[in-house]
Amino acid sequence: MTKPFDLLIKNVRLVRPNQDDIQTTDIGVKDGKFARIGPALATEMAETVYDGRGLLAFPGAVDAHMHVGIYRDLAEDARSESQAAAQGGVTTAMTYIRTGSYYLNMGGSWRDFWPEVLRRSEGNYYVDYAYHVSPIESGQLAEMEYLATEAGAPNFGEVFMFYGSHGLHGRSDNQRQWLMLPDDDEYDLAHFDQICRRAAELQRRYPDLAPYIQVSFHCETPELLRAYEKHVCDAGVLTGLAAWHTARPPHSEALAIAIVGAMAHAAGLRQVNILHITSRAAMEAALTARAAWPAVQFGLEVAAAHLLLDTTSDCGVWGKVNPPIRTPEDREYLWQKVLDGTVEWIITDHAACPQGMKAAADDPDNIWLARAGFGGTEYLLPAIFSEGTRRGLSPNRVAELLCWNPAQRFGLHHKGDVAPGYDADLVLLDPEAQWTIDPADSLSAQEYTPFAGLSGRGQVKQTFVRGHLVYDNGRIVGRPLGVYQSRPG
């Protein structure tokens, strides 16, 4: 006789978003979905039973901003970095991808690019996955409809506002070649304006999809970066993270955010996402833009790295990222905005940059020569739980910031909560277990981390994806069973 549940997890303290309390309960799973939540469910009712006594049960986190496949082959990167995701309590990995150098190293039509993205992803992720795609070439503007209506990828980005005349890593890159731009194309504000207009047009044409048709911006302006970088470099006084922060000043972010607001408003675009806000200046610009252009809804995102590190951190070039790690004052201000509910979701911007690529071989401490970006999805839930609760954030609010809010924003309506009918994505976390970050313990292929030495409390013990155990006490179990998530789901 078949039993009512495939899996029963007993005696957990369940942390749900949008609730004020944490209740001790049992969780029954059937066919990959939560089937029943309640106390004292009989062990005979399930094929497999876990005892979660003493553990908190969170919904699986949605890391809505990653860059799987940026520096290594997509299939290979998906294998290792989705293991890292499971380690960090992440059960849905959403990658911002684009044509051009890195990723698939191909330009041209999305009708060729997109099936290849799916082909390389299939069977390689240990957690569920989705993509956001950034229009780079003008020819891709007409294909936004295809992405939104056929591919299930209605959020467009990340729009890299600083790429126009400035490289990903600083001054050295040749942008046109690097983005594989056709001769007549420019990657500039006029192109970004067209993206907004096309997205707004799609919102009008597809009212049911309209809430999910969004444009996501990386807000920094190339002209200011170029000038400040030259100034800081020529002066030769600052080094390390302080140099990088000063070379890419917060008001460059603020200016870019104001431009996004004006463009979105003029286009009639209803939703934009302001990605990885790093500073007081940038946050205040976003709030000013909200007030100035009320018809535009601004999604406000913060990256874990900007909450965990600042310019006094000891990580040197390993912490080089765009936008930069900011001052301790900015970091504290961001936490205030997490605590007061202004920040809507927290992500990692995970971009595993192998050690050999990250720093220049002959000058490893040179911040100007290092590559930007690093991973961190393996620390998402433990680090935000630990730092957040220490500062007064409730575990339920952690579940909103990491699970419910990003799932809602990006159309994953069957994820982000633990309730009957939702995908059985679940993380068991020991709130008392102490940790100190050591890259040797990470399942990511990155080999180093700017977070090395940080310590805290609250360790992920088990991660389940749709009822399947994928991560168990430090190791991956089973096979890569991640499924592509077409949105809205």
Which residues contact Zn ion (rule: CB under 5 A)?
349
Least distance (Å) between residue 322 CB and Zn ion: 8
Residues, the chain: 489
Q: How far is the CB of 158 from Zn ion (least distance, A)?
A: 5
- Report in angstroms how near the CB of residue 104 gets to Zn ion at its nearest: 17
Residue 124 is classified by DSSP as T
330 or 349: whose CB is closer to Zn ion?
349
Measured from the CB atom, the residue of 78 and 393 that comes closer to Zn ion is 78
- Omega prior to 135 cis, within 30 of 0: no
Q: How far is the CB of 340 from Zn ion (least distance, A)?
A: 25
The CB-of-218 to Zn ion minimum distance in angstroms stands at 6
Cα–Cα distance between 353 and 346 in angstroms, integer? 21
Judged by beta carbon, residue 95 or residue 405, the one nearer Zn ion is: 95
Least separation, in Å, of the C-beta of 276 and Zn ion? 7
**Shortest spacing between CB 67 and Zn ion, in angstroms:** 6
Would you state the structure tokens that stand for residue 139, as one six-digit string?
A: 């020819």
Q: Which residues contact 9 (CB under 8 A, 6 or more apart)?
A: 26, 27, 29, 49, 50, 52, 57, 426, 428
Q: How far is the CB of 321 from Zn ion (least distance, A)?
A: 9
How far is 351 from 243, CA to CA, in rounded Å? 22
Nearer to Zn ion, 41 or 304 (CB): 304
Residue nearest to Zn ion (CB): 349
**For Zn ion, the closer CB: 63 or 349:** 349
**Neighbour tally for 39: CB within 10 Å:** 10
Measured from the CB atom, the residue of 260 and 460 that comes closer to Zn ion is 260
| Nearer to Zn ion (CB atom), residue 96 or residue 293 | 96
Residue 405: which of 333, 301, 304 has the closest Cα?
Answer: 301
Q: Please identify which residue in the block is written with the tokens 């993205």.
A: 117
Kindly state the smallest distance separating residue 107's Cβ from Zn ion, in Å: 20
- The C-alpha atoms of residue 392 and residue 382 are separated, in whole angstroms, by 15
Cβ(15)–Cβ(399) below 8 Å: yes
The DSSP bridge pattern shows strands 61-66 and 56-59 to be unpaired
Which residue lies nearer to Zn ion by CB, 344 or 417? 344
C-alpha to C-alpha distances, 489 to 145, 403, 414, 474, 477, nearest whole angstrom: 17, 15, 7, 31, 27
How many whole angstroms separate alpha carbon 169 and alpha carbon 14? 43
DSSP of 323-345: SPP--HHHHHHHHHHHHTT---E
Please state, in angstroms and rounded to a whole number, the distance separating the CA atoms of residues 447 and 29: 36
Which of 137/349 has CB closer to Zn ion? 349
